[in-house]
Amino acid sequence: MKKVLLGVAIGLAILLCIGSFADYNIDLVKNGTMNFNKTLTVGQALDNWEYCTNGKWDNFQTNNGIEVVEFGCETENLYKHFVDKKLNLDMLKKEISTLSKPYSTLKLLSLKDIADVKVRYIFQFTLNNDDTFQIDNIQQKYIFQDGIEGQEMPTKYMKLLKIAYNNEDIVKDYMFKGWSVGSTLIQLIVSRYNGLKEQ
């Protein structure tokens, strides 16, 4: 009985240590600043980005021992922006026709099938041995409302991080501004096809 209790105690102690270590790493990044803007901490900028909600912080270690702190958040649903701009697939046939098969076959779907989606942004910071860190990677992933998830795609991380720091609307001011609307729709079509293929 004593051996069992000792084993449980050791297991709990290990879990507490792992949890404390993860909290330390996350706090290190959240309380730190970036060289391009020292007026806000990383945590203040990302946690208070109004246009990317449901934020969650996490910590993990890569296979070669690198500590990574990750922050993920989601945009609002994109479909209403297509509707507000009175856009539909027919208006963007030229862009869709440039897609190679099999992506072009998705043009038979309705706009809602393709654009009823949120975008998940994932910010990853790598930690150094001297308790400093750097932004290492930012990805975006389309999450369709029928459960299909597109592939994670890398994006220009410094630009996106600055958008978050400035508390700008990533959807309205960037994804749906000017000619970027067509490229956004094409990304959705390709992402949805790849998501369907993986099911």
Say which residues have a Cβ less than 8 Å from residue 1's Cβ, sequence separation at least 6. Answer: none
The one-letter code for the residue type at 66 is I
- The number of folded domains in the chain is 1
Question: If you average pLDDT over every residue of the chain, what do you get?
Answer: 80
Containing 46, the helix (H) or strand (E) segment is helix 42-47
- Write b or e for each residue in 183-192: b if 16 or more Cβ atoms lie within 10 A of its Cβ, otherwise e: ebbbbbbbbb
pLDDT tens sequence across 37-61: 999 999 999 999 999 999 999 999 9
Q: Which of 40-49, 75-84, 119-128 has the lowest mean pLDDT?
A: 75-84
Pair 157, 109: CB distance under 8 Å: no
The predicted pLDDT at position 95 comes to: 61
Instruction: Give strand pairing partners of 72.
Output: 56, 122
Q: Which domain holds residue 168?
A: 2-198
The predicted pLDDT at position 100 comes to: 60
pLDDT tens sequence across 149-192: 887 777 877 899 999 999 999 888 887 776 566 677 777 777 77
Backbone angles phi, psi at 66, to 5 degrees: -80, 130
